[in-house]
Structure 1
């Protein structure tokens, strides 16, 4: 299990809750000023998870204002980038002359070396925060600074891949061993670098090692978002990522699969899930097959039987009986 520290406001007397929260934030992260209209009985729940040099902190709390002032920066600057995935609520960031809003399923970014002020919305806010040392980010010097403060979506592409990684790691830390922490931190750092590079409109800022490690993940995310497209083919995937077809096949050989078999497996898994969904019980099987890129029902039935040992009809019937 990964090592984590947990704060629950209900474990602290009401009058002391906000002060305890403030001390935790200033001790665990870049020192900051905090204020809240709910300070008399502040409600918050937060975990701090260490992944090597990277810290991840999922939390939920009442409306707040965070301030990082020039004075606090002079007193202490840990030289970190901060990235926050907003899961619930909204926020607004002022970073020098920049001002940006951030809604649910977007990232906002910050820099511990720059004065800033962040307001969360009027409702409880749910986030997953990330802090990583600037020196650890595998981007060309100065490029990461240009991405700070820009809006970054968590709904598609690299942002969705990073959001998926963060929610998966933080939802169940018990599935990982303590020795996994540095490796997970490396993956997280590479994905943050890839998101920054994507935000800047180019991946040429990435180091060769980071590009090589993240490219298979980015291609898999690209495929998963287009499984419904019957024209999704290895040549179209290679062209979309500006790589040769042979290099694409080589990447998937390292994953232990061919490109076509990996696409088919993902499509079959989505179709299998639909067949067991009570809400889709009346949807024709051929429609479910077409939804996931199978243009010929007979091909779908044959592939499904090979993968799961039953025809799609029998599989749905068995799942329906089990649910009943």
Structure 2
């Protein structure tokens, strides 16, 4: 029996499965066990968090790894930090369960390879690739790495036939970059509490479907197209809110959408109202992050043309002055 088939000889996965509650936040680490048991425990961790997998370390001894897992509705997000390894989903392991998931690996650090359906996707930081739990696949990490793994039941996504979209690298200049940014933000939000980000689940599924359609060179359905357009618009607003001259025409041109589409996505109040809310949210963060930073500097960093205009907008939105928000009495 090869080392890749040794998952069944490792530690019983029932303990870790009890920790990885699919409705809650969980942190797992090989630091919880003695070094000789670290990789056996790691196999237990990845089988419990994802699907049944075989694995082997790149080098013997000194292995370490951690998984931070959170479920947001049907979307599962797992941040994986680990030493080099090769992971395999075999036909025998597939036959033992009824798991049907589409997974996407978003590379946060280091490099990796995804092999499935006769293709190999090379992943560097910022890239993502899909793979399907119902068919054999292999993940290679020759060195230490960091990944965010997004896992969604296949029933939630179209198309159901994923053979054209797996093991294709989506990086800069593709919808994968937009989707990767969104899911990194969603994972950060979800860490604050099990219910955090739940309202974004339909949007998350739509974005994943749009990226999957692009990867498979398929025509995405309307919800997926709108999810992608919405994320492009919101990313543009977040990245450019410090520009006091930002307006609806600029946003529509930059995001390649019509004004009608733009207003349908941002809401009836329009771009100006959405920008104001985003600017106030950014101002709240800046006021607390550096309590010595001048209010005028905060106003400028958030796209307000004057300190007095910032003061009025902040008080209308929060019921407090910037000074009172920063130093509550």
Q: Under a length normalisation based on structure 1, what TM-score does the superposition of the two structures give?
A: 0.72
Matched, 1:300 2:306: yes
Q: Equivalent residue for 1:35? A: 56
Shift of 1:65: 0.8
Q: Secondary structure at the match of 2:267?
A: helix
Q: 1:13 aligns with which of 29, 34, 38?
A: 34
Shift of 1:259: 0.8
Q: Secondary structure at the match of 2:273?
A: helix
- After the TM superposition, which residues 56-135 of structure 1 pair with which residues of structure 2 at under 5 Å, given as runs? 56-76=77-97, 78-123=99-144, 125-135=145-155
Q: Equivalent residue for 2:241? A: 227
Q: Under a length normalisation based on structure 2, what TM-score does the superposition of the two structures give?
A: 0.71
Query: Where do 5+ consecutive residues of structure 1 fail to align?
Result: none
Q: 1:249 aligns with which of 245, 263, 266?
A: 263
Distance 1:126 1:141 in 2: 29
Distance 1:245 1:130 in 2: 32
Task: Mark the CA change 1:197 to 1:303 in structure 2 (over 3 Å): closer, same or farther.
Answer: farther
Distance 1:272 1:27 in 2: 39
Matched, 1:205 2:220: yes
Compute the RMSD of aligned alpha carbons.
4.1
Q: 1:164 aligns with which of 170, 182, 185?
A: 185
Distance 2:52 2:225 in 1: 33
CA contact (8 A) 1:57 1:129 kept: yes
Measured against aligned partners, the alpha-carbon deviations of 1:24-77 in whole angstroms (never above 9, x if no partner) come to: 323443322200045544322223333444332223222111122344344546
Query: Where do 5+ consecutive residues of structure 2 fail to align?
Result: 1-20, 316-320
Shift of 1:190: 2.2
Q: Secondary structure at the match of 2:104?
A: strand
Distance 1:194 1:168 in 2: 22
Q: Secondary structure at the match of 2:122?
A: strand
Q: What is the aligned length?
A: 299
Distance 1:237 1:224 in 2: 11
Distance 2:45 2:31 in 1: 15
